[in-house]
Amino acid sequence: MMKSIIFDLDGVIVFTDMYHYAAWKKLADSKGIYFDETINNRLRGVSRMESLEIVLEKYEGSPLSGEEKAALAAEKNDCYRKLLSGMKPDDVSKEVRDTLALLKKRGHRLAIGSSSKNAREILDRVGLIDFFDAISDGNNISQSKPHPEVFLKAAEYLGVCPGSCVVVEDAYAGIDAAKEAGMTAIAVGDAASYEKADYVLEMFSDLAEIKMNY
């Protein structure tokens, strides 16, 4: 039996994490809120509204109402979506595309497990929307990573049991979510230093070297 593989999207398949950073930074600067890459790393895998709460930890103004917070999140998302609008198939590297194609050819079922509500638009823009057998994203969950819901939903959509899935993630919160779901956790990028990961990839293409049948 071949394992099913669930990929996080932002920071794993595409480097939209830099657009998230740029959009949060613009919002923070416009409101006089300190924001840097270390704070940004805490936003990986975390939902938009939870990310806003982390950004607001450095906010020193008068308390904000729920409506004001929603407006700030919308402002960030508008800026982020403008950056996304320039994305095209070239934004997925040849290495990532070739590795995904190889894994699919070997018979693995592939899914997306992303906290983002913009996941389908991104996949559409880079020409990968029909490549995955299932997409679980920010629109079908009520709790974001480190809660396992997004990965458990992906397994459900694939029609497989969680124990037969591996997850590829760049976020600490995503590695925690994968382990909590009873899945094998493979770390790339920022998550590579996280000791809870079962495997660490130096390069995305190394994924094809990991034994993933059972």
Among positions 3, 4, 6, 8, the unique one binding Mg ion when judged by CB under 5 A: 8
**Binding span for Mg ion by CB under 5 A among 28-36, 94-102, 133-141, 163-171:** 163-171
Position 133 contacts Mg ion (CB under 5 A)? no
DSSP state of 189: G
Amino acid at 144: S
Angle at which helices 149-158 and 172-180 cross, to 10°: 60
At 3, the amino acid letter reads K
Dist. CA 180–CA 199, nearest whole Å? 16
Residue 206 Cβ, how far from ligand BG6 at the closest point, in Å? 22
State the Cα–Cα distance between residues 175 and 169, nearest whole angstrom: 6
Which one, 55 or 212, has the nearer CB to ligand BG6? Answer: 55
Active site residue 8: yes
Binding mask 9-48 for Mg ion (x = CB under 5 A): -xx-------------------------------------
Decide whether 152 or 191 has the Cβ nearer to Mg ion. 191
Q: Reduced to 3 states, what is the DSSP secondary structure of residue 129?
A: coil
130 classed as catalytic: no
Q: Are 165 and 37 in contact (CB under 8 A)?
A: no
Q: Which residues bind Mg ion (CB under 5 A)?
A: 8, 10-11, 170-171
- Which positions are annotated as active-site residues? 8, 10
